[in-house]
């Protein structure tokens, strides 16, 4: 018995050490990128030393480092407390077997939430690990072990989840790192040619010049494809996960369900104030928990965004609609009064027979 009692703490200790080692390993790609960046600064400023270009170089360098820092250290946003099950519901779930009682619990928890996406079987998306109803576009990250709002992907190069809170920073990081590499390659090209034609003096600097051009050109190719892909995602209002698996609504799959048109898609990520678009400061529209869609057919029993879950911006004029319309009819970013009137008319004319259940509210656990 004594040996059995000692075994459990020992196993827990080994598990804790393993998790700490994993966390340290996750920082290896970040350290690699940081070391390349530091070396490139040394090689360009001290070895190449093009005085005319140093002002522009430091501008790109500063924006690159700033956006990279913000992408790494901006914490991913998690669903708000309204999406979590109450303590009483959690206890009830533990006591009750899977069946109608559990479905009733989830049905009650989801009825006042602004959710329109479903699982492949048409069930409400529920995270069993976080014990919450998943907001639209929210997914559980196996690395972070949390549900991330508007999750795009978990990026090892920043050791962080890219989602609603830092997606703009990630885009700017790609943009400024690409500009940084292109600038170095362009200004270093003439000296790289001289290196191969023996036009440079035989010093240590010539090797820095050669490898600097190779590194800048190589990263420019990979970054240009990645940045172009994410620009396409922004124009279509998609995440990387949604590009691989289209979101599913009650009426079925719709790969363009969240697209509001190019201009509005762009503003949803970068915000309304164009003067902040190129700076790594948070200006994205919304709260990450609810998103407007371009769909016509929504759940007849799904209510509008509840009080406290409305999208908020600096001017707080972007309320998410209780009933979504096509882009040509959408006044999300221009007029909020029409949504208020539409909500009142919808609630006034809605009749739900007593005891009628919504087949779209059947529940399926997801992780």
Sign of CA dihedral 300, 256, 264, 164: positive
- How many whole angstroms separate alpha carbon 201 and alpha carbon 130? 62
Q: What contacts 211, CB < 8 A, 6 or more positions away?
A: 43
Strand-pair category, 139-141 with 117-118: unpaired
Q: Catalytic residue positions?
A: 155
3-state SS, the chain, equals CHHHHHHHHHHHHHHHHHHHHHHHHHCHHHHHHHHHHHHHHHHHHHHHCCCCCHHHHHHHHHHHHHHHHHHHHCCCCCCCHHHECCHHHHHHHHHCCCCHHHHHHHHHHHCCCCCCEECCCCCEEEECCCCEECCCCCEEECCCCEEECCCCEEECCCCEEECCCCHHHHHHHHHHHHHHHHHHHHHHHHHHHHHHCCCCCCCCHHHHHHHHHHHHHHHHHHHHHHHHHHHHHHHHCCCHHHHHCCCEECCEECCCCCCCCHHHHHHHHHCCCHHHCCCCCCCCCCCCCCCCCCCCCCCCCCCCCCCCCCCCCCCCCCCCCCCCCCCCCCCCCCCCHHHHHHHHHHHHHCCCCCCCCCHHHCEEEEC
Token pair in block for residue 291: 């998103």
Are 320 and 305 in contact by the 8 Å Cβ rule? The answer is: yes
Are 68 and 173 in contact by the 8 Å Cβ rule? The answer is: yes
Closest-CA residue to 82 (of 117, 108, 118) = 108
Token pair in block for residue 226: 């990645």
- How many whole angstroms separate alpha carbon 158 and alpha carbon 72? 5
* Phi, psi for residue 118 in degrees, rounded to 5: -135, 175
Three-point CA angle 213, 277, 79, nearest 5°: 105
Are 169 and 152 in contact by the 8 Å Cβ rule? The answer is: no
Token pair in block for residue 204: 């240590």
Query: What pLDDT tens digit does each residue of the chain (367 aa) get?
Result: 444 444 445 555 766 787 888 888 999 999 999 999 999 999 888 887 777 789 999 999 999 999 999 999 999 999 999 999 888 888 887 887 666 677 777 778 888 899 899 888 878 888 989 989 999 999 999 999 999 999 999 999 999 999 999 999 999 999 999 999 999 999 988 888 887 777 666 677 778 888 999 999 999 999 999 999 999 999 999 999 999 999 999 888 999 999 999 999 999 999 999 999 999 999 999 999 999 988 644 444 444 443 333 443 333 333 333 333 333 333 333 443 333 334 444 444 433 333 333 433 444 445 4
- How many whole angstroms separate alpha carbon 288 and alpha carbon 319? 13
């Amino acid at each position: 018995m004594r040996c059995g009692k000692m075994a459990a703490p020992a196993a827990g200790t080994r598990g804790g050490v393993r998790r700490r080692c994993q966390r340290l390993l996750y920082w290896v790609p970040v350290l690699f990128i940081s070391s390349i960046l530091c070396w490139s600064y040394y090689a360009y400023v001290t070895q190449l030393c093009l005085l005319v270009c140093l002002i522009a170089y430091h501008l790109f360098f500063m924006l690159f480092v700033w956006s990279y820092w913000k992408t790494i250290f901006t914490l991913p946003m998690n669903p708000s407390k309204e999406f979590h099950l109450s303590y009483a519901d959690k206890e009830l779930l533990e006591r009750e077997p899977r069946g109608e009682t559990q479905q009733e619990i989830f049905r009650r928890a989801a009825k006042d939430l602004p959710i329109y996406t479903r699982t492949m079987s048409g069930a409400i998306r529920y995270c069993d690990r976080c014990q919450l109803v998943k907001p639209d576009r929210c997914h559980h990250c196996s690395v972070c072990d949390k549900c991330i709002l508007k999750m795009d992907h978990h990026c090892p190069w920043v050791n962080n989840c890219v989602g609603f809170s830092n997606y703009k920073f990630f885009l700017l990081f790609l943009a400024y790192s690409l500009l940084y590499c292109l600038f170095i390659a362009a200004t270093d090209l003439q000296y790289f040619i001289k290196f191969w034609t023996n036009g440079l003096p035989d010093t240590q600097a010539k090797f820095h010049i050669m490898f600097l051009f190779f590194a800048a050109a190589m990263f420019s190719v990979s970054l240009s494809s990645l940045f172009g892909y994410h620009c396409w995602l922004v124009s279509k209002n998609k995440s990387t996960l949604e590009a691989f698996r289209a979101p599913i609504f009650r009426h079925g799959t719709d790969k363009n369900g969240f697209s509001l048109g190019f201009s509005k898609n762009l503003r949803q990520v970068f915000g309304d104030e164009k003067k902040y678009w190129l700076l790594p400061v948070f200006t994205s529209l919304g709260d990450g928990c609810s998103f407007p869609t371009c769909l016509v057919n929504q759940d007849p029993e799904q209510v509008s965004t509840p009080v406290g879950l409305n999208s908020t911006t600096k001017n707080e004029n972007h309320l998410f609609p209780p009933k979504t319309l096509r882009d040509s009819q959408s006044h999300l970013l221009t007029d909020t009064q029409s949504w208020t009137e539409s909500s009142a008319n919808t609630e006034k004319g809605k009749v739900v027979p007593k005891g009628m259940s919504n087949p779209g509210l059947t529940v399926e656990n997801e992780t």
